[in-house]
Amino acid sequence: MTSKSLATNNFDPSRIIQDDGDCQMFKGVLDNRTIIIRKYIIRENDKDNDEVRSRAIRDIKISRQMSSHKNALKLLGCCLEFPLPALVHENAAKGVLRDDGSLSGANGGQSLLPWKTRLRIAKQLANALTYLHTAFSEPIIHMNLRSTCILLDDDYVPKLSNFSFSVSDSPKQSHVKGDNQIRASGYTDPDYLATGYITQKTDVYSFGVLLLVLLTQRAASSNQAGELDITANPKFHVSDGQTQIQTIVNPKILKEVGEDGHAQQQLQDCLALAVSCIQNQSEARPKMIHVAKELVRIEKSIFP
């Protein structure tokens, strides 16, 4: 693909739908079809650019492997005319999932999602991560899971993206080293921060934080003075597991659910699952496949 064929108006800033500091996502057009272009940002240091180029190639490779999965952002191709490779993806019309669980689109708009949709998003993302961990000869750890890696299509189907920091979990290795260039955030596994090593449970931790974001509609972390990392709330680490949904779950979700006992139990079960995923010790967390199965059970408890 050529840069001219992508029709981004020379990567006009108004077409940016997401910018995480390492790469930018633009809306473009290819053959009269709306697309998304992921363009990696050039650094001043040549060594840094070599590292970014390596991550871009990794992103291309794993995006291609995942493209057959309905909950991964499909890779259409790439453009090599830039100093760093650019990825060309299918469109995801509803935009990027914000860190508070709302939606943002190319026009800067913002919309809230009903609980049923949030739960389905969580279930389908758990399915995508389970596929990443189990479908290949060597399991793949996403390592950088966060809300901004998730886009939604017209039907609010989540699409996992950005595999630039992903690492193969080879059974031949007793320890897998993570990419030390990753930015720490509220989604980052404390075990990784302490040791520099990652496991599949690293993704489980990040997913647990994402589930909390969907339940609370609070950002996982923030630069705003006084706003805490979402997992720092002691209510998320109660020993007996009897967390109180009334004090943790977002009031709008509680109002939507109402007094229905089965619906409140569904929220309680999701909250308990999230808490199990964000245990500080990775050994105490469930496997991703078990998380996915539990979310299927929770969803079916009310929504057929």
**In this structure, are 160 and 31 located in the same domain?**
no
Higher pLDDT, 40 or 184: 40
**In this structure, are 143 and 261 located in the same domain?**
yes
Least confident among 32-46, 63-77, 101-115, 187-201: 101-115
**In this structure, are 52 and 185 located in the same domain?**
no
**In this structure, are 79 and 210 located in the same domain?**
no
The predicted-structure confidence for 237-263, as pLDDT tens digits, reads as follows: 554 444 578 888 999 999 999 888 889
DSSP annotation string for 149-198: GEEE-TT--EEE---TT-EE--TT-SSEEPPTTSPP-TTS-HHHHHHSEE
Long-range contacts of 293-296 (CB under 8 A, 24+ apart): 294/269, 295/119, 295/122, 295/123, 295/126, 295/270, 296/123
Count structural domains, the chain: 2
Considering the entire predicted model, what is its pTM? 0.89
The predicted-structure confidence for 147-194, as pLDDT tens digits, reads as follows: 999 999 999 999 999 999 999 987 666 567 776 667 778 899 999 988
- By the 8 A CB rule, do 103 and 113 touch? yes
**In this structure, are 64 and 103 located in the same domain?**
no
Last residue of a domain, one of 61, 90, 119: 90
Last residue of a domain, one of 90, 120, 155: 90
**In this structure, are 216 and 240 located in the same domain?**
yes
Q: Give 80's pLDDT tier (boundaries 50, 70, 90).
A: confident
**Which residues have C-beta within 8 Å of that of residue 148, sequence separation ≥ 6?**
18, 20, 96, 97, 98, 99, 162
What average pLDDT is seen over the chain?
85
Q: Give 110's pLDDT tier (boundaries 50, 70, 90).
A: low
| Mean pLDDT of the 273-280 span | 93
**Which residues have C-beta within 8 Å of that of residue 293, sequence separation ≥ 6?**
none
Which domain covers residue 154, as residue numbers?
95-300
Least confident among 66-70, 139-143, 242-246, 269-273: 242-246
Higher pLDDT, 48 or 180: 48
Supply φ then ψ for residue 41, to 5 degrees: -85, 130
> For residue 36, what pLDDT is reported?
94
CATH number of residue 61's parent domain: 3.30.200.20
Task: Flag whether pLDDT at 227 surpasses 70.
Answer: no
Higher pLDDT, 40 or 9: 40
Q: Could you give the CA distance from residue 225 to residue 223 in angstroms, rounded to a whole number?
A: 6
CATH number of residue 117's parent domain: 1.10.510.10
| Mean pLDDT of the 119-134 span | 98
**In this structure, are 152 and 232 located in the same domain?**
yes
Last residue of a domain, one of 70, 90, 110: 90
**In this structure, are 247 and 125 located in the same domain?**
yes
Least confident among 110-114, 210-214, 275-279: 110-114
**In this structure, are 232 and 141 located in the same domain?**
yes
Higher pLDDT, 68 or 105: 68
